[in-house]
Amino acid sequence: MGCTSQYQFCNPSLPSNNCGPLGSLPDAQSQAAPLFGMSTADFEGTGEANGTMISRYQWLVYITGYAATSVSYLINSLGPSALSSPRYLNTGVIGSLPDDQWKTDVKYWWAIYLASLQAGFVDTARGSTDPVLDPYKLLPFNSHVQEMCDNQKIRSAGHVSFSIFGLYFTLVTGLLIITISFTLEPIFKCLYNRRKYQEYTYLEWAASETLQLQRIGFQGTNAGTWTGCTDAVPVTKSGEILPSLALQYSSSNTEIGSEIGKVSTEAKGEMVSTSNSANGERDEDSVSLDDLLDASEYVESDSPRVQAVSAAGHIDHGPQATQ
């Protein structure tokens, strides 16, 4: 397979006839010089230019010199690695290849050449990192080229760009929220102390604080003598030792359960007497018929209740009582 490489340079700022002829790399560079304001003879002779367009074009020619000059140069330099078929190599054996494998290889060469051309621009903008190579640097030869170099930017894979506005906006917003959270409570406390502003709302807010909820828990077990019940930090008297809330409420729940059992048992036996006592307290002037009949058996004779029954004299029980 034989390949021929041809190049062409164009000036897109021209309205028409803005491309030079196809040819080898040196011929294409010199034949395109008139498109940038310099004759081919002057370009091949002096190699120096002072105009803006021709200076930039000549600098472009210098940059392409850092890249691979031709596809043949790539093949000679890379050897077997210039082919894409070794990816099918396994234990020294390559299986069957597609019939158009040569097209894949040619595309692979062209992609490598374009990558080397891009690397030439990147290396020019970045410069050499080895100080030993400083004497061999090709610096911009006039102000036009220097201006183009100053305006050239190459994205670096080792660096990350970020928005300063977004960073400062996040920082300022966060600081504002933190400041408000720290100043809002003292402001409402001052308004409450001076003007009783939103009194119940403030008291509910203050009582729901973590330390205030803990204070309420201790007070539920009668532990501690507390002050500052509307402050951020409630305190006890000096020297007081508070018990464990978990142990206090565990023992309290056990005692409450046993008391509930006792009360439930006693309530079943006293339900009738409690009901009669409640009826007697409701109306002290009225006495039930059963109480009058059984008064002599359960109440002493000198009690006011018996005296009231004796003073009543005769009690009319109706037709059933006279039978």
Domain range annotation of the chain: 25-86+99-150, 164-243
CA–CA gap between residue 301 and residue 196 (Å, rounded) = 64
Half-sphere exposure of 268 (CA within 13 A, CB side): 5
In terms of pLDDT, which residue wins out, 174 or 306? 174
Half-sphere exposure of 37 (CA within 13 A, CB side): 13
For residue 258, count CB atoms less than 10 angstroms from its CB and return exposed for 0-12, middle for 13-18, buried for 19 or more: exposed
Distances (CA, A) of 131 to 66, 135, 136, 138, 302: 18, 8, 10, 14, 127
Confidence of residue 17 (pLDDT cuts 50, 70, 90): confident
pLDDT at position 173 is 95
pLDDT at position 48 is 64
pLDDT at position 315 is 41
What is the average pLDDT score of the chain? 74
pLDDT at position 198 is 76
pLDDT tens, residue by residue, 206-239? 777 778 888 888 877 888 888 877 777 888 888 8
pLDDT tens, residue by residue, 230-275? 777 888 888 888 877 777 777 656 655 555 555 455 555 554 454 4
pLDDT at position 42 is 80
pLDDT at position 41 is 82
State yes or no: pLDDT of 132 exceeds 70: yes
Q: How many helices (H) and strands (E) does the chain have?
A: 14, 4
**Dihedral-angle region of residue 240 (phi above 0 means left; psi in -120 to 50 means alpha; beta otherwise):** beta
Q: pTM of the entire structure?
A: 0.46
- What is the rounded average pLDDT of the residues 40-68? 78
- What is the rounded average pLDDT of the residues 160-173? 89
- What is the rounded average pLDDT of the residues 94-117? 86
In terms of pLDDT, which residue wins out, 189 or 168? 168
Which helix (H) or strand (E) segment holds residue 173: the answer is helix 164-195
219 contact partners, CB below 8 Å, separation of at least 6: 226
CA–CA gap between residue 119 and residue 68 (Å, rounded) = 10
Confidence of residue 316 (pLDDT cuts 50, 70, 90): very low
Confidence of residue 285 (pLDDT cuts 50, 70, 90): very low
CA–CA gap between residue 55 and residue 35 (Å, rounded) = 12
pLDDT at position 262 is 56
The pLDDT > 90 percentage for the chain reads 7
- Mind spelling out the 3-state secondary structure of 140-167? CCCHHHHHHHHCCCCCCCCCCCCCHHHH
State yes or no: pLDDT of 135 exceeds 50: yes
pLDDT at position 177 is 94
pLDDT at position 312 is 42
State yes or no: pLDDT of 89 exceeds 50: yes
CA–CA gap between residue 216 and residue 214 (Å, rounded) = 5
pLDDT at position 291 is 42
CB count within 10 Å of CB 260 equals 10
- 3-class secondary structure, 109: helix
The pLDDT > 70 percentage for the chain reads 74
Inter-residue long-range contacts of 80-89, CB under 8 Å, 24+ positions, other chains counted = 82/108, 82/109, 82/112, 83/108, 84/108
